Amino acid sequence: MPVQALQCKECRETYPLEARYVCERCFGPLEVAYDLSGLDAASVKRRIQAGPQTIWRYADFLPFEVRPAPGLPVGLTPLQRAPRLAEALGLGEVWIKNDTANPTHSFKDRVVAVAVAKAQELGYEVVACPSTGNLANAVAAHSAAAGLDSYVFIPADLEEQKVLATGVYGTHLVAVRGTYDDVNRLCTELSADHDWAFVNVNVRPYYAEGSKTIAFEIAEQLGFELPDRVVAPIASGSLFTKIARGFDEWREVGLVSGELPVFNGAQAEGCSPVAQAFEAGQDFCRPVKPDTIAKSLAIGNPADGPYALDLARRSGGSIDSVTDDEVRDGIRLLAQTTGIFTETAGGVTTATLRKLAERGDIGPDERVVAVITGDGLKTLDAVRGTFEKHEIDASVEDFENVVAGAPVGAV
């Protein structure tokens, strides 16, 4: 398999494929390095098309020397064309990568499937994570399926739906009074004292690789072609940058051709350190205290923020922020034009897509893919009070008087 080592993203120092995440030389973040030079595009394409209907069909590009045993069936989520959304926004071709169709209804199943498989390969018996919600669901579920003990740390004010959808799997659920950044600091400290696989701390380099599979699926579902533009949410910045890396790896091997798509990042205004840095022309992010309904994106000190900034700029894209009201409107817009009910992060992405369209940033002939990362059932409070319910007696007369002439909610 092409996986080679861990490599520092800053100084390029290499390390064995162990549970480590920081360079000892310069304290830069580590990522997985591959040697793809031995891959033949035609052979790889045949392996992909004959592979399982999960992310493991892309095993050549994942950090394992031997393909792991299958766990929950993750990936191959729909890439759905959205003509009514395109028409509403005045755009030519819009596609929705609908990752709500994963086992715990978010893209986090991808990264956790990779992280848990690597944790097992490295001999860990306990899996843990700090989470804003979706990761908590995924870690609890995948650990249960693998027969591993798990500890999940969340902010104490997390949405109830995400708390319930985590605790049901039998995990050790720990609510921390503070922000996600407080939770993350605590878990970083705990990782030094406990022999646990913290999926987004000490095994983060492997965990992050799962996000590349979104790019692989988009390209395969488009007939091994690249889109012109990708709009995706930014929390830590890892998802955003790893989608680009996935496209780059397939370009390197020759599975796809053409330029890297334009990348547009989406943040909620109440937690937008990367968008603020982009607007200010900075190459670093100033930490902020989150205050937004988009809790799954509420990371005030994003680890991969600088890399997200670089990607947006070198691809000719941008990073924008939207208000909470725009987030709610984005949820409704997506639901009413595509039938997809997304959580607040998807509302951020859809609202940003609308902003780009209104600003004239997207050409009429562009093929645009918007990445929807989580299900609306996870954040029901965000749509409470946004539509009208008619209550009537069980009679035709009451229906005609109360409902028949009432206007339908506008997009």
Residue 395 domain flag:
no
Tens-place pLDDT, residues 186-232:
999 999 999 999 999 999 999 999 999 999 999 999 999 999 999 99
Number of domains, the chain: 3
Rounded to whole angstroms, how far apart are CA atoms 285 and 309? 9
Tens-place pLDDT, residues 117-149:
999 999 999 999 999 899 999 999 999 999 999
Q: How many CB atoms lie within 10 A of CB 355?
A: 20
- The reply to whether 115 and 185 lie within a common domain is yes
Please say which residue of 155, 183, 208 terminates a domain. Answer: 208
pTM, two decimal places: 0.95
Residue 274 domain flag:
yes
- The reply to whether 101 and 114 lie within a common domain is no
- The reply to whether 147 and 223 lie within a common domain is no
Instruction: At 126, list the tokens.
Output: 């306990």
**pLDDT in the model for residue 70:** 84
- The reply to whether 299 and 346 lie within a common domain is yes
Residue 344 domain flag:
yes
Residues 133 and 296 sit within 8 Å (Cβ to Cβ): yes
Q: How many CB atoms lie within 10 A of CB 301?
A: 17
Q: Residue 197 forms beta bridges with which residues?
A: 127
**pLDDT in the model for residue 407:** 65
Residue 368 domain flag:
yes
Instruction: At 72, list the tokens.
Output: 């929950």
Please say which residue of 208, 224, 248 terminates a domain. Answer: 208
**pLDDT in the model for residue 406:** 67
**pLDDT in the model for residue 67:** 86
- The reply to whether 204 and 216 lie within a common domain is no
- The reply to whether 201 and 268 lie within a common domain is no
Residue 392 domain flag:
no
Residue 53 domain flag:
no
Q: Are strands 262-268 and 172-176 parallel, antiparallel or unpaired?
A: unpaired
- The reply to whether 220 and 160 lie within a common domain is no
| CATH code at position 159 | 3.40.50.1100
Please say which residue of 173, 208, 243 terminates a domain. Answer: 208
Rounded to whole angstroms, how far apart are CA atoms 16 and 227? 35
Residue 298 domain flag:
yes
Residue 314 domain flag:
yes
Which parts of the chain sit beneath pLDDT 50? Answer: 410-411
User: Structural domain of residue 17, as residue ranges?
Assistant: 1-35
- The reply to whether 147 and 170 lie within a common domain is yes
- The reply to whether 250 and 374 lie within a common domain is yes
- Alpha-carbon dihedral sign for residues 322, 356, 350, 89: positive
Rounded to whole angstroms, how far apart are CA atoms 345 and 293? 9
- The reply to whether 101 and 232 lie within a common domain is yes
- The reply to whether 162 and 174 lie within a common domain is yes
Report which residue type is found at 37.
S
DSSP characters over 145-166: HHT-EEEEEEETT--HHHHHHH
- The reply to whether 248 and 235 lie within a common domain is yes
